[in-house]
Amino acid sequence: MTTNALTPLLSVSSLSIFYGAAQALWDIDLEAYEGECISVIGANGAGKSSLISAIMGVQSHVKGSIRFQGEEISRRSSTEIAAKGISIVPERRRLFPSLTIEENIQVGAQVGRKGPWSLKTIYELFPELESLRAKGGHMVSGGQQQMAAFARALMANPRLILCDEISLGLAPIIVTRMYAAFPALIASGISMLIVEQETRRALNICNRFYCLLDGKVSLRGRPSDFTDAEIHQSYFGV
């Protein structure tokens, strides 16, 4: 299926997630359109990573609807979802330590999608990775691992990239370099959904945002529509 300007690329409707008797998310509604950057902000434990896991098909006990390009994907496997055009940059990178940096990047190509991203274009975006291509995934810095994780997501030639806490544990200068690449990617037609605790950076780059508090959407809209005080209250609940 294809989307147009009026149809969301990703549509999450009435999504609830359960861990046994405990509920992590309550009736979440979220939309992302083609070429749009969406930020999902919230404190630790707000439900952000649970939302990402549900979209990627690795979360069980899910109620509600998740549609991508108009197709229901809430019962699809993570492999099927990746093949349809959703990639993830997971929290804490999760590179394969037994593989080289280049081999880790090439894992993304296994979904078999055609597109502009190859090792050549990846190394043009992140030149530092080319000099590290033969090093093991465990032998480089956290920032370099994060670049490799992002490169792996791009190698799948996705239409939507989910970024889960990509600034976690990284030096600010590395995070700035990562975020500096995003506008060009979005301009190329890739949509992004960025999950972050670092509110200001996430709000500065996004078109729209959703704030989660205790598993519910406490605020949504364009960052410019709200004061810092309103965002702070929705983030912390006070």
- pTM beyond cutoff 0.75: yes
Domain count of the fold of the chain: 1
- Rounded Cα distance between 42 and 161, Å, is 19
pLDDT > 90? residue 105: yes
Beta-carbon-side half-sphere exposure of residue 161 (alpha carbons within 13 Å): 26
Write phi, then psi, for 194 (nearest 5 degrees): -110, 120
CA dist list (Å): 89 to 35, 53, 61? 18, 11, 23
Read off the CATH number of the domain in which 35 is found: 3.40.50.300
Beta-carbon-side half-sphere exposure of residue 52 (alpha carbons within 13 Å): 25
- Rounded Cα distance between 10 and 54, Å, is 13
Q: Is residue 107 one of the residues assigned to a domain?
A: no
Q: Is residue 143 one of the residues assigned to a domain?
A: no
Which structural domain, as residue segments, surrounds residue 34? 1-83+206-238
Q: Is residue 73 one of the residues assigned to a domain?
A: yes
Q: What is the pLDDT of residue 211?
A: 98
Structure confidence at residue 168 as a pLDDT band (50, 70, 90): confident
- Rounded Cα distance between 17 and 19, Å, is 7
What average pLDDT does the segment 119-132 reach?
A: 94
